[in-house]
């Protein structure tokens, strides 16, 4: 069975450009999470959805970040405009019936903003 699928795996973009990261959760999972990994802060939760509805976006750093989940099999994380400090690995993850159950992560999207 396919795991969480993220694209692109690597993205290098110039400051000011729009970046869109994509995620396909595991089929049947009803929770989807977006995390960001940095050296200083480890894995930070940006936002999570339950049944396609955003539940908590308090981790989204600024208005430049937005996330959508138009259906149960697809989510996007958009950064507009991007800045060098946004450079990080962005992980999408999904679980069945909440974070108290095992969360499965994708392989991550490595973003570099120059």
Partner 1 sequence: DQQVKQNSPSLSVQEGRISILNCDYTNSMFDYFLWYKKYPAEGPTFLISISSIKDKNEDGRFTVFLNKSAKHLSLHIVPSQPGDSAVYFCAALSRVVQGAQKLVFGQGTRLTINP
In angstroms, how far is the first alpha carbon of the chain from the final one? 37
Toward partner 1, which CB reaches closer, 45 or 72? 45
Nearest approach in angstroms of CB 59 to partner 1 is 8
Q: Angle at CA 63, nearest 5°, toward 57 and 69?
A: 50
| CA 104 – CA 39 distance, rounded (Å) | 21
Of 71 and 102, the one with the shorter C-beta distance to partner 1 is 102
Looking at the Cβ atoms of 6 and 82, the one nearer to partner 1 is: 6
Residues forming contacts to partner 1 in the complex (CB under 8 A) are 4, 33, 35, 39-45, 48, 55-56, 91, 93, 98-100, 102-108
DSSP 56: E
Q: Minimum Å distance from CB 66 to partner 1?
A: 19
Residue 7: beta bridge partners?
A: 22
């Amino acid at each position: 069975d396919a795991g969480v699928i993220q694209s692109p795996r690597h993205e290098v973009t110039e400051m000011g450009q729009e970046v869109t990261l994509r995620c396909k959760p595991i089929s049947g999972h009803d929770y989807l999470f977006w995390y960001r990994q940095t050296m200083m802060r480890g894995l930070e939760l940006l936002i999570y959805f339950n049944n396609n509805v955003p539940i908590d976006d308090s981790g989204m750093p600024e208005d430049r970040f937005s996330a959508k989940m138009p259906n149960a099999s697809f989510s996007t994380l958009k950064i507009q405009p991007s800045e060098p400090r946004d450079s990080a690995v962005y992980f999408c993850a999904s679980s069945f019936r909440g974070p108290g159950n095992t969360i499965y992560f994708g392989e991550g999207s490595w973003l570099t903003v120059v």
